[in-house]
Amino acid sequence: MDRAIIQDWTDSIVLLKFDQTRDVRYQVYRDGATHFLEMRTPEDDSHIHTLELPDGMKLDRTSYEVLLRYVLLDVVAA
């Protein structure tokens, strides 16, 4: 498969509800024609979630950070 890094591993502190935060590491990559955003914990590098981004979705770093928050809120609620 043709895998390319769009944004290498980036550490972020994501603001959740009620002044709670979550430390995460994330990477954005393309595998073939599909784009993914992968999140891991910075402490032990365990997998949190991998999100397949819709076709043609190109974002800047601040947009990825907003997307992280919504995905984490969904994962925490599940």
- pLDDT (mean) for 53-76: 75
- pLDDT (mean) for 36-47: 93
What is the band of 70 on the pLDDT scale with cuts at 50, 70, 90?
confident
**What's residue 67's pLDDT?**
81
Residue 27 CA to residue 39 CA, distance in Å, equals: 7
SS3 category, 2: coil
Q: Residue 13 is part of which domain span?
A: 3-77
Contact present, 25 and 50 (Cβ < 8 Å): no
Residue 78 has pLDDT above 60, yes or no: no
CB atoms within 10 A of CB 6: 15
Residue 56 CA to residue 63 CA, distance in Å, equals: 14
Per the structure, the count of domains in the chain is 1
pLDDT digits (tens, 9 = 90+) for 12-41: 888 887 778 888 999 999 888 888 999 999
